[in-house]
Amino acid sequence: MALASGLVAGAAAAQQQTLAVHAAGSLRAPITQAAQAFEQANPGTRIALTFGASGLLRDRIAAGEKADVFASANMAHPQSLGADGAWGPTRAFARNALCALARPGLAVTRDTLVKTMLDPAIKLGTSTPKADPSGDYAFELFERVERTGAAPAGSARALATKALQLSGGPNSPAPPPGRNVYGMLVASGQADVFLTYCTNAVVAIAEAPGLQLVEVPAAINVSAEYGLAVRSGAAPAAQAFADDLVHGAGQGALRKAGFLAP
């Protein structure tokens, strides 16, 4: 009897598997929802989630940290991991756009956003380029401001120089548990205007209703394309979860969170 019980317990343990999924911080809500649904549909599979700035996660994975699926806020980071065949192809699975999160009472609209950002008295916040794709997208927006004629020559450099890289970097302070970092930074006065993903801005305003979401004019906005890849040799369930995010039930969680179709 004891031997039989041991064999049953051993077989059950053998059927258990844990998938390590690293994902951009902006994906926290939909990826968590998709992972929970996947676990319910696949008994015996547990998904261990790690969230953070995509560039920093990419560096950790490249340094040897275990991950089976990497969902990034850009295409470049997962593509760089697959250069030596260690990871499969990078597939687009969602899109996002930039919005401006503004402090309460600030007189700013879609039409005056560029002028407001250029105002020397305005504290302009962004994420950290290279470490966090959101920062890269913000600095690309600065270039578009000048290239499209939305502001005079020299504006791109002026915006890049004044931008406060307040989040997403290796030494950026973490927000209190359960708080949206962008909302916290604006609500605490560290930034008057913060360029972030529209999905992040919506979450921040839900936590702090006094904050303002300001649309970015289409001519200067940047479309953020999210990509994911699966580690070569990962369990079949890792590929199944990735497929779920690309064209399965996970797309429902992404749409609900405000992400656009890839």
Q: Residue 84's pLDDT is what?
A: 86
13: pLDDT strictly greater than 50: no
How many CB atoms within 10 Å of residue 237? 19
Q: Longest C-alpha distance within the chain, in Å?
A: 83
Q: Residue 173's pLDDT is what?
A: 83
54: pLDDT strictly greater than 80: yes
Q: What is the CA radius of gyration of the chain?
A: 21
What does the mean pLDDT of the chain come to? Answer: 93
Q: Are 98 and 137 in contact (CB under 8 A)?
A: yes
239: pLDDT strictly greater than 80: yes
pTM for the structure as a whole: 0.92
Q: Same CATH fold, 97-215 and 2-94+225-256? A: yes
Can you tell me the mean pLDDT for 185-195? Answer: 97
Q: Residue 11's pLDDT is what?
A: 40
**For the chain, domain boundaries:** 2-94+225-256, 97-215
Can you tell me the mean pLDDT for 13-28? Answer: 89
Give 177's pLDDT tier (boundaries 50, 70, 90). Answer: confident
> What is the C-alpha to C-alpha distance for residues 161 and 54, in angstroms, rounded to an integer?
23
Closest among 195, 188, 208, 179 to 140, alpha carbons compared: 195
Q: Residue 137's pLDDT is what?
A: 98
Q: What is the pLDDT of residues 152-163, one digit of tens each?
A: 999 999 999 999
How many CB atoms within 10 Å of residue 121? 6
Second-level CATH architecture of 97-215:
3-Layer(aba) Sandwich (3.40)
Measured CA to CA in angstroms, residue 49 lies from 69, 147, 218 at distances of 10, 40, 34
214: pLDDT strictly greater than 70: yes
Three-state SS string over the chain comes to CHHHHHHHHHHHHHHCEEEEEEEEHHHHHHHHHHHHHHHHHCCCEEEEEEEECHHHHHHHHHCCCCCCEEEECCCHHHHHHHHHCCECCCEEEEEEEEEEEECCCCCCCCCCHHHHHHCCCCCEEEECCCCCHHHHHHHHHHHHHHHCCCCCCCHHHHHHHHCEEEECCCCCCCCCCCCCHHHHHHHCCCCCEEEEEHHHHHHHHHHCCCCEEEECCCCCCCEEEEEEEEECCCCHHHHHHHHHHHHCCHHHHHHHCCCECC
Q: What is the pLDDT of residues 94-151, one digit of tens each?
A: 999 999 999 999 999 999 999 999 999 999 999 999 999 999 999 999 999 999 999 9
> What is the C-alpha to C-alpha distance for residues 156 and 242, in angstroms, rounded to an integer?
38
At the fourth CATH level, the homologous superfamily of domain 2-94+225-256 is Periplasmic binding protein-like II (3.40.190.10)
Q: Residue 1's pLDDT is what?
A: 46
Q: 97 or 4: whose pLDDT is higher?
A: 97
